[in-house]
Amino acid sequence: MSIMFEVYYRPPEDSNREAKITERVSRLGGRLSFREGTNSGASVCLTYEFDRFAEAKQAADMLRQFGEHVEGPMEYAG
């Protein structure tokens, strides 16, 4: 069982923002597993996976403190 959360932000796409998010998440053991761009003007979605719930929760809480919109963390079989 893996743990994941998703980070959403409004367009335009921002590679610098994504790099900062990914760097912060990776310090807590997370890895970017999927990225959905803005083909239709919808939000950008970054999916991060973790091995442990505690680290995922800590990373999600930290990103929220920086103003990011985070859905999760949650368990999934992936």
Q: b vs e for 28-61, b when ≥16 Cβ sit within 10 Å of the residue's Cβ?
A: bbbeeeeeeeeeeeeebbbbbbbeeeebbbbbbe
- CATH number of 72's domain: 3.30.70.260
Query: Domain residues for 22?
Result: 2-76
Task: Write down the pLDDT at residue 77.
Answer: 76
Task: Write down the pLDDT at residue 16.
Answer: 98
| Beta bridge mates, 69 | 8
Query: Tens of pLDDT along the chain (78 residues)?
Result: 799 999 999 999 999 999 999 999 999 999 999 999 877 678 999 999 999 999 999 999 999 999 999 999 999 875
**Count of structural domains, the chain:** 1
Specify whether the CB–CB gap between 31 and 48 falls below 8 A.
Answer: yes
> Could you report how far apart the first and last alpha carbons of the chain are, in Å?
7
Task: Write down the pLDDT at residue 72.
Answer: 98
Instruction: Give this prediction's pTM.
Output: 0.93
Residue 64: CA atoms inside 13 Å, Cβ hemisphere, count? 12
